[in-house]
Structures are given as C-alpha cells and as structure tokens.
Amino acid sequence: MKRAVPAIVLLTTLLGGCVTANVDEMTFDAPVAGMADGSIVILGRRHAPDYDTEPDFIDCIGNHISRGSESISVIPERQFVDALYPWFEPRTAPLSIESVGRLMVLPSVANKLAELGLNYMIWIDGRTQDTNSSGSMTCGVGPTGAGCFGFGTWGTESEYEATIWNFDDGAEVGKMSALTSGQSYMPAVVVPIPIIAPVQDTACDSLGTQLLQYLSAGS
C-alpha cells in the first residue's frame, strides 16, 4: 500500500492537468492607455431558462483582475446588483449598452453610477457542465470495514463569453470567449481517489488574463 502512494500522487498530478483551453478575442476599440484608478464591475448573465452564470466564476474573474492590477478596483457583483436594485435583476438587466442609456434617464441611477466611478461593465455569459460519464463503481460495508472498487470517468466543459462595455464612451468595445474541456477520473481500490480536471479554473485564468491585458493595455 505504501508503494502505491507515490504512484497515486504522480497519477493525480499527471491526470489533473488534462485540460485543453481555447481563448478567442475580438476587440473593436482597444484602450490607448490603461485604466488609472478606475473601477469595473463584472456581472453574470442570469436570464437563460436552464442555467445561470455561476457567481463563484464571476468572483474568480474579479479576483484574477484585482490580483493582476492594483489600480483597477473591481466592484463585487452582489454589492453592485444590490446597490442598483432592481435595475440589474434577470428581468430588468440591460442587454445592450444602449439600454443603459435609457436607465441613466433615472436621476437616482445616474447618480449612483457616477458615485461608483464606473469605467467598464463586463458581462459574462456561460456555464460549466459535465458532458459525458462512464465506468462503474461498487461500494460495500461489512463487519470488517467498508470499501469501494471500480473506475469512473466524466468529461467537463466550460464555455464563457465576456462582453465589455465602456461607460465613458457609451459603447461596446470588445468580446472575449474561453472554451475549456477536460476529463476527470475516479479510480477506486478500497478508497475512491477523485482526480478532478480543473476545467472551470482554467477558463477563469484564461478569460481573466485576457481581460486584464485589455484593461491594462498601454499602462
């Protein structure tokens, strides 16, 4: 059993990295100078009937950008949505930058957005989901103990698209997307050992890095 431990650790390390990532970028209006003491908000789309963009993915992107640039202030999603309730709920959230113009007609909304000093609003739409699974595992409990035996595997796919709105210019300035996929494994000889592909984390790193490069361009 002791000999098996290094092999399991090695296998975990090797298989844990089985993730492929594709990132596409399409920007119409790259900033000539990076943001200086500006603020952004990253929001998840929540109006699809069968999924919501995960709040923890939005937090992950925000943390990635905050870590990468001290000059960019990222307003937490929940704080922003609550501060502007009910204008960014699934029913009322603007689907285009032109709709934000209509919101700005309301003095209370215009004042709040001015108070927040918002330069960019970034919408993330997408999700992570398991695609296929196979294998089997049997677990049992007996007088001498419990254990499992078998092997399971499943695929996971993340697909996200970020749309960047420039608040100073009142224009949509770019789109970026990240598509990542990976295969996770769970061999079990007495104890199940999950070897999870970090698919969503990879998508977060890819998209976060692209967004950070865009927002920091020229600085």
Contacts with another protein by CB under 8 A lie at 50-52, 54-55, 82-87, 89-92, 106-109, 112, 127-129
Nearest approach in angstroms of CB 135 to another protein is: 21
Q: Sort 152 into a burial class: Cβ within 10 Å, 0-12 / 13-18 / 19+.
A: middle
Nearest approach in angstroms of CB 4 to another protein is: 32
Residue 203 host element (H or E):
helix 199-216
Q: What is the 3-state secondary structure (H, E, C) of 61-115?
A: HHHHHHHHCCCEEEECHHHHHHHCCCCCCCCCCCCCHHHHHHHCCCHHHHHHHHH
d(Cα 141, Cα 137) in Å, to the nearest integer?
14
Instruction: Decide whether 24 or 89 has the Cβ nearer to another protein.
Output: 89
Instruction: Decide whether 28 or 51 has the Cβ nearer to another protein.
Output: 51
d(Cα 201, Cα 57) in Å, to the nearest integer?
8
Nearest approach in angstroms of CB 180 to another protein is: 16
Instruction: Decide whether 37 or 52 has the Cβ nearer to another protein.
Output: 52
The residue type at 105 = V
Instruction: Decide whether 103 or 189 has the Cβ nearer to another protein.
Output: 103
Instruction: Decide whether 11 or 109 has the Cβ nearer to another protein.
Output: 109
Please answer whether residues 217 and 34 qualify as being in contact, where contact means their C-beta atoms are separated by less than 8 angstroms: yes
d(Cα 99, Cα 93) in Å, to the nearest integer?
9
In this structure, the number of other CB atoms found within 10 A of the CB of residue 9 comes to 11
Beta-carbon contacts of 50 under 8 Å, excluding residues fewer than 6 positions away, are none
Nearest approach in angstroms of CB 149 to another protein is: 27
Instruction: Decide whether 88 or 185 has the Cβ nearer to another protein.
Output: 88
Nearest approach in angstroms of CB 116 to another protein is: 12
